[in-house]
Structure 1
Amino acid sequence: MLPSLIVIDDFLSDPHGARRQALALDYDPAFKKGNYPGLLSTDTLPIRGLEESVGRIIGAPVKADPQTSHGHCRLTLKADKGRSGVHIDPCFYSGILYLSLDAHCRGGTDFFRHRRTGLDSVPSDAAALAATGYTDPNVLIEDVVNKDTTQAGKWERTTRVPMRFNRLILFKPWQFHNAGPGFGHDRETGRLVYLMFFAAAH
């Protein structure tokens, strides 16, 4: 069974080099895709051996999911607002590498329980799904996640993984989660993360 959440500190051997490369990427507002706050890098940042390392850590082979923004960086400043909140990631496994310096870090990544249903994720098998009263996961996602995504009172935060420079978090993507708020006023002080969305590699 895949682990729900793993936190690994000091993941990269040269995190400052990766941060410099991330800051040098272009963050064109016209490239933005989705309802998230902040800007997505127009290019990816290759990390050698990433998929192999993550596969060993979670005990399952993975590859980059081509339908996602895997390998891109996201920069979110204090003034940035998005149109969504609590969400899931439609992939096999997710990861976030924090590249903000510790002096600037605020918040982190939050995980939630939906108050009305008591769910903290979309069930991964038919029996567990049926026990929720839903027969179609897409209906559940629409009725729970999409309907209440920005309604803070509909959710109870269960876990917060604080930001720390060069900290990697890996987690099951069907868990209800959200990024902490943006911070800072420029690239050097803003919330800078490296996004990972994996597909299964069999």
Structure 2
Amino acid sequence: MQFERLLELNSIDDMSIQVKKIGNDNIPLMVVDNFLKYPEMVREFALSLNYNKPVGSDLWPGIQAVASLNRKNIEEFIVRYYLEPILELDCSNYHFPAVRPGTKADQWSSWFLLTRFGAVTMPFDEAPWAKNPHVDYFGFIASVLYLSLPEQSRGGTVFIRHRETGIETIPPAALGLPDRLRCILKETRSHEIIYGKIFDEWWAEHGKSWDHEEPLKKDEGQVLTEKGFDIVCQRIMTGNTPTSGYLTQSNPVWEITDQVDVAFNRLVLYPTWHLHSISWDPTWYGKTLAERRLTMMNWLNFPVEGAEP
């Protein structure tokens, strides 16, 4: 097979597509079964790569390998079947660059250029961010394809609510977001909680003065400032790391609102700003790479207006 065809998709008629809105924020996620045309070959390719702890290794509970693959058809699928009809985002005048205008290339830029394959290997006491409910603050849309064989398919990806505050979504701090995307984020229950309860608590503790109010004032096209993002993350995550095992079921702090189960050649698409985590237990999988929870991951960066240069 030609290398550029490795990620060829099945026809739409051969896929099974499910869209559901989850939690109180009604964030839409898409689950696609029978996504790739040659999933066995993609799995074989993934197993042939060299795996290491990635940059920012505390963000991933295991090892990763990267590959420069032609994933244009995957990105086109995301735009045509998810962003435009489901998020109602007109993408005709937008592109998704690895480095957005006004920003510099950094360690995350490669995450938008390269396809990543990941195996979960870390015990619970490692990778603190990855085991905690979190958002992928560096990206826009996450694309996760499960490559574990049917007999190895346990657990999945869970979506989560912080019980005390009710927060399910932490808006990104990106500038210049499209109007439709800002509207989606502002209509969530989480946005109401953040700009009410969370910031009111913060001001009550620190004093509501110009110096403290200024960091929360948004720039054009922004839903939440970096300062505001940090305040929210600190409020719901500090001291709330699970104390025994990955989040495989709800607990007094975190409520699982939905779970997408692992299934071979199943794709899940979701906005990265929704709280999520892996559902994984080391007893569910073996010790070799071929026996691990194996996924193929791609991310889209936040959209930028104008034709792609």
| TM-score interval, normalised by the smaller of the two chains | 0.7 to 0.9
For residue 57 of structure 1, the aligned residue among 81, 92, 102 is 81
* Structure 1 residue 78: Cα displacement: 7.3
RMSD between aligned residues = 2.6
Measured at CA, do residues 141 and 32 of structure 1 come closer, stay the same or move farther in structure 2, by a change above 3 Å? same
Q: More relative contact order in 1 or in 2 (CA 8 Å, sep 6+)?
A: 1
* Structure 1 residue 65: Cα displacement: 4.2
Q: Which residue does 1:87 correspond to in 2? A: 134
**Secondary structure of 2:127's aligned partner:** coil
Once residues 81 and 27 of structure 2 are traced to their aligned partners in structure 1, the CA distance between those partners, rounded to angstroms, is 9
Greater Rg, structure 1 or structure 2?
2
* Structure 1 residue 57: Cα displacement: 1.6
Measured at CA, do residues 185 and 78 of structure 1 come closer, stay the same or move farther in structure 2, by a change above 3 Å? farther
Once residues 149 and 174 of structure 1 are traced to their aligned partners in structure 2, the CA distance between those partners, rounded to angstroms, is 18
Contact 1:28-1:42 within 8 A present in 2 as well:
no
Once residues 9 and 169 of structure 1 are traced to their aligned partners in structure 2, the CA distance between those partners, rounded to angstroms, is 9
Q: Which residue does 1:155 correspond to in 2? A: 254
Tell me which stretches of 4 or more aligned residues in structure 1 moved more than 6 Å. Answer: none
Measured at CA, do residues 147 and 196 of structure 1 come closer, stay the same or move farther in structure 2, by a change above 3 Å? farther
Q: Which amino acid aligns with 2:165?
A: T
Q: Which amino acid aligns with 1:51?
A: E
Q: Which amino acid aligns with 1:130?
A: Y
Once residues 61 and 240 of structure 2 are traced to their aligned partners in structure 1, the CA distance between those partners, rounded to angstroms, is 17
**The 10-residue stretch of structure 1 (13-22 or 129-138) with the greater mean CA deviation from structure 2:** 129-138
Greater helix share, 1 or 2? 2
Within a 5 Å distance, the mapping from 1:29-40 to structure 2 comes to 29=53, 31-35=54-58, 36-40=60-64
Fraction of identical pairs, as percent? 25
Once residues 34 and 147 of structure 1 are traced to their aligned partners in structure 2, the CA distance between those partners, rounded to angstroms, is 21
TM-score by length of 2: 0.58
Q: Which amino acid aligns with 1:166?
A: N
For residue 271 of structure 2, the aligned residue among 155, 163, 172 is 172
Gapped runs of 5+ residues in structure 1?
none
Contact 2:169-2:273 within 8 A present in 1 as well:
yes
TM-score by length of 1: 0.85
